[in-house]
Homo-oligomer: A and B are copies of this chain.
Amino acid sequence: MKTGSRPISNLLIAACTLLLCACGETGQARTAPGITLVIHGGAGTMSRKEITPERERQYREILSRVLESGFAILEEGGGSLDAVEHAIRIMEDSPLFNAGKGAVFTNEGKNEMDALIMSGAERNAGAVASVTTIKNPIRAARAVLEHSQHVLLAGRGAEKFAAEQGLEIVDPAYFFTQRRWDALQKAKEKSSTNPRKDDWKKFGTVGALALDARGNLAAGTSTGGLTNKLYGRVGDSPIIGAGTYANNDTCAVSGTGQGEYFMRNLVGYDVSALMEYAGLPLAEAARKVIHEKLTGLGGRGGIIAMDKDGHIAMPFNTEGMYRGYISTHGEPHVFIYGDE
């Protein structure tokens, strides 16, 4: 809000912002200005009852590894876009997450993926939607950002562009995993045509945010979408301001959850707008968007968010969210459940 027309209210907003304390949620709102990497691997109904100790160990291990290797890029002076792309690429290559190799199946038994990467410096982005043959959709999104005049390419047009850019193209069979196939069969037993409420329980979308040494924010998200989704369904992940957003003046955001609700609520941009126009600090803006606005409309999910000073927030209204951050001290901090 830079209209200059309401100096008194602006001053009041600024004063109130200073008075508002950081969000007290667990595993969140650590204050650590400087280079920072934040990641998520999806939100959902994960609870200690449902996850075996072995599976929990696997998730904690890979989240720590993603944070450490992505942070090394920032420590060496690399850019935030590079760190975000690298972190997401590792998660895409793991069968543990619903992105790349571990993508879920559509109603037609295919794997259709969406991804977006956004630079907070230029507020420019690249995205691909409904792609089936690109090994790393986040790399294709980066190529759209850097080598096209467009923001979003969908379907075979996106695949043709990725091939022209020399990216790795794979047979769709590469994305087959027994676990995801079984999940589709189970979902189909309940409903043959559309995802039902029961199928929304887990959102394995992956995302990353980085703040580099030059003060540039970047955000990225990659997903296989929803198990049993309709052929051609595009969710929030590749939509600027819905599942992903970055703006050096405000914040970077990546979301995971019921994509349709994230799109209708403009979740990513809404955090930024509440900071810019209503003067809220990051933690309060993120809390309001997830716990008041998304929850109020009946949507489920969570976000990771980071402001230009490296403050972070990771609110979610599901039982858990795979998430973590690493900052100037270089120690990865990883969380799964709501009470950590």
Residues of A within 8 A of B (CB): 1, 3, 5-6, 8-9, 12-13, 16, 20, 123-125, 129-130, 148-158, 160-161, 194-195, 229-235, 239-242, 259-260, 263-266, 269-270, 273-274, 277-278, 280, 284, 288, 297
Provide a sorted-by-A list of 21 A–B residue pairs whose CB atoms are within 8 angstroms: A1-B277, A3-B288, A6-B12, A6-B16, A124-B264, A129-B154, A150-B233, A151-B263, A152-B263, A153-B232, A153-B233, A161-B232, A239-B239, A239-B240, A241-B266, A266-B269, A269-B269, A269-B270, A270-B273, A273-B273, A274-B277
A240 to chain B: which residues have CB within 8 Å? Answer: 239, 242, 263-264, 266
Which one, B152, B154, B231, B297, contacts A160 given CB within 8 A?
A: B231
A263 to chain B: which residues have CB within 8 Å? Answer: 125, 151-152, 240-241
Which one, B5, B12, B160, B230, contacts A150 given CB within 8 A?
A: B230
Asked if residues A229 and B150 are in contact (CB atoms below 8 Å), the reply is yes
The copy count of this chain in the complex is 2
A280 to chain B: which residues have CB within 8 Å? Answer: 3
CA A274 – CA B278 in complex, angstroms?
9
Main DSSP-derived SS at the A contact region: mixed
Which one, B231, B232, B241, B278, contacts A277 given CB within 8 A?
A: B278
Which one, B232, B242, B260, B278, contacts A154 given CB within 8 A?
A: B232
A233 to chain B: which residues have CB within 8 Å? Answer: 150, 152-154, 157
A273 to chain B: which residues have CB within 8 Å? Answer: 269-270, 273, 277
Q: What residue in chain B is nearest A19 (Cβ atoms)?
A: B5
Kindly provide the distance from the CB of A145 to the nearest chain B CB, expressed in whole angstroms: 11
CA A1 – CA B9 in complex, angstroms?
13
CA A154 – CA B151 in complex, angstroms?
15
A195 to chain B: which residues have CB within 8 Å? Answer: 149
A260 to chain B: which residues have CB within 8 Å? Answer: 149-151
Asked if residues B8 and A20 are in contact (CB atoms below 8 Å), the reply is no
Q: Taking A12-B6, A16-B5 as contacts, is the C-beta distance between A155 and B232 under 8 angstroms?
A: yes
CA A306 – CA B235 in complex, angstroms?
27
Asked if residues A123 and B288 are in contact (CB atoms below 8 Å), the reply is no
Q: What residue in chain B is nearest A8 (Cβ atoms)?
A: B12
CA A153 – CA B161 in complex, angstroms?
20
Q: What residue in chain B is nearest A5 (Cβ atoms)?
A: B16
A239 to chain B: which residues have CB within 8 Å? Answer: 152, 239-240
Which one, B9, B130, B151, contacts A264 given CB within 8 A?
A: B151
A269 to chain B: which residues have CB within 8 Å? Answer: 241, 266, 269-270, 273
CA A242 – CA B234 in complex, angstroms?
15
A8 to chain B: which residues have CB within 8 Å? Answer: 12
Q: What residue in chain B is nearest A152 (Cβ atoms)?
A: B234
A231 to chain B: which residues have CB within 8 Å? Answer: 156-157, 160-161
Name the 7 nearest CB pairs between A and B, nearest first.
A157-B232, A157-B231, A277-B277, A9-B12, A273-B273, A277-B278, A155-B155
Asked if residues A1 and B278 are in contact (CB atoms below 8 Å), the reply is yes
A150 to chain B: which residues have CB within 8 Å? Answer: 229-230, 233, 260
Asked if residues B234 and A129 are in contact (CB atoms below 8 Å), the reply is yes
